[in-house]
Chain A
Amino acid sequence: SQQGEEDPQALSIQEGENATMNCSYKTSINNLQWYRQNSGRGLVHLILIRSNEREKHSGRLRVTLDTSKKSSSLLITASRAADTASYFCATDAGTALIFGKGTTLSVSS
C-alpha cells in the first residue's frame, strides 16, 4: 500500500522549541493531511494540503509538500506541553485515506 511513513518515530523537545516531523509516501496523491491524537483518544484534523499546494499555515503549524520527492513536513513552532501527542500524516490517493504509523511528540516544561 502507499502508506505514509513518518520520521522520526519519537521526538522529545523543551517548551518553546520548534518540532519538525516528516512524512514520505509512495504514490501520487490528491491531498495530504495531518492529524493529532492524544493518548488513546480520537484523532483531530490539523491541516490539509492539496497536491497543487506547496506550503500552508495554520496558527503555529506550517506544512510543506514536495510532490516530486513525495514528502511532507509538519513544523510546530514555539511548542507547548499541550502539544504532547502523536501526529499522523494521511494520504488521499482517491480510494482511501491511508495513515502512517505516526510521530510521538513529547514536550517538557
Chain B
Amino acid sequence: DSGVTQTPKHLITATGQRVTLRCSPRSGDLSVYWYQQSLDQGLQFLIQYYNGEERAKGNILERFSAQQFPDLHSELNLSSLELGDSALYFCASSVGGDWGEQFFGPGTRLTVL
C-alpha cells in the first residue's frame, strides 16, 4: 500500500460526458502527479501540482483540467469524453517538487462507451 488513494476504482460513462477523478496523496507529500496509461500510448504524464500550484504540464488535453486543494488532495476533470479517453488514470505523489521517487495510487479505470 503506497499511501496514495484514488477514487473511484472504476468508472463507466458515455461519450460527451464529464467525470471527476479524485486523489489523496501520502501524508506529508506536497506534489501530486497525474498520468494516463493506455495500451497504445503507454504511461503518459499529464500534469503536476505542488502545494496547490500547477508546476508542470505534460500531454494533457484542453478538455482535461486538474486542481490541488488546500488539504493537498487533487482532482482531475475530464470533459467531452471520447472513446479514446478510455484508460487507466494514475495519481502519484512525492515529498518535493522535483522528479525523484514517486508513490503511485491504485488507479481509476475509465471506460467510455
Interface, chain A (partner B; CB < 8 A): 3, 30-31, 33, 35, 40-45, 48, 88, 92, 94-102
Contact = CB atoms under 8 A, between A and B. Distances in A.
Contact of A99 (B42, B88, B100): B42
Contact of B104 (A31, A44, A48, A98): A44
A40 B104 CA distance: 12
Contacts of A44: 2, 104
Top 9 nearest A-B pairs by Cβ distance?
A: A92-B99, A42-B104, A99-B43, A43-B104, A101-B42, A96-B45, A45-B101, A42-B106, A97-B99
B107 interface: yes
Given A42-B107, A44-B2, A100 B42 contact: yes
Contacts of A45: 101-103
B95 to A, nearest CB: 13
Contact of B99 (A30, A40, A43, A101): A30
